[in-house]
Structure 1
Amino acid sequence: MFVMDLLEQLPPPGPDEALETLLSRDGVRFERIVSTGQASPPGFWYDQAETEVVVLLAGAATLRFEEGDRLIELRPGSLVEIPAHARHRVEATQADPPTVWLAVFFR
């Protein structure tokens, strides 16, 4: 059994997002991501082999998808499914309070 409060014991702010794998079983991976004002570098796009579902738990963030140059504003409670190979980037994250994501990856 695994029990955790995803909004407690947050890592201190740093230059990079804090990624923590919480569970990884049978091709499914759960990660907690804590952002404190980070964004994707200019010209960088994520292009992942896995489908990703993200839930924003705290803070705020903006995602940009290459297809259609679509921006999505996220607030606590927002859920986004990112299909495999959907090129996307993080345009902005709120620094204070930190932005906390729950990301689930699967094939």
Structure 2
Amino acid sequence: MPASVTNLLDSLPSSLTAELFETLIKTPELRIERILSDGQVTPEGQWYDQAEDEWILLLQGAAHIQYADGREVALTVGDSLLLPARCQHRVSWTTEDEITVWLAVFYPPSQ
């Protein structure tokens, strides 16, 4: 059976009251998510500290990732970032001008 074509920028809501996490593919070794943000951030004092590596690609919008050591990275359309396992980080800003669309790929940590 031929694969069907999907577009990750289709069917975007006009606004969101909370971030939206959609699992696109999930296997025992891999998870791919589309994440939608509309000005949402990780609450102050909370950090993502996951057991797997995470590679993110920003498809639309803009965002900032803050590390626990205080460094901050600005992301715009087309930017990607590898967040190694156990790298404490949080989303410190996303634009409110449009829906920010992330593609996140989670996989076992590199050795």
Q: Same fold (TM over 0.5)?
A: yes
What is the TM-score with the length of structure 2 in the denominator? 0.89
Instruction: Indicate the percent of aligned positions where both proteins have the same amino acid.
Output: 44
Q: CA deviation at 1:2?
A: 5.2
Please tell me whether the aligned partners of residues 20 and 33 of structure 1 are also in contact (alpha carbons under 8 angstroms): yes
Cα distance per residue 1:18-44 (max 9 Å; x no partner): 110001124111100010000011111
What amino acid maps onto 2:77 in structure 1? P
Indicate the residue corresponding to 1:19 in structure 2.
Answer: 21
Residue 99, structure 1, aligned to residue 100, structure 2: yes
Please tell me whether the aligned partners of residues 11 and 34 of structure 1 are also in contact (alpha carbons under 8 angstroms): no
What amino acid maps onto 1:7 in structure 2? L
Unaligned stretches of 5+ in structure 1? none
Q: How many residues in Structure 1 have an aligned counterpart in Structure 2?
A: 106
* Residues in 2 aligned to 1:20 and 1:71: alpha-carbon distance in whole angstroms: 25
Q: CA deviation at 1:88?
A: 0.1
Please tell me whether the aligned partners of residues 34 and 102 of structure 2 are also in contact (alpha carbons under 8 angstroms): yes
Residue 6, structure 1, aligned to residue 8, structure 2: yes
* Residues in 1 aligned to 2:28 and 2:88: alpha-carbon distance in whole angstroms: 25
Indicate the residue corresponding to 2:42 in structure 1.
Answer: 40
Runs of 4+, deviation exceeding 4 Å: none
* Residues in 1 aligned to 2:22 and 2:13: alpha-carbon distance in whole angstroms: 10
Aligned-pair Cα RMSD in Å: 1.2
Give the greater-gyration-radius structure (CA): 2
* Residues in 1 aligned to 2:5 and 2:26: alpha-carbon distance in whole angstroms: 14
Indicate the residue corresponding to 2:31 in structure 1.
Answer: 29
Unaligned stretches of 5+ in structure 2? none
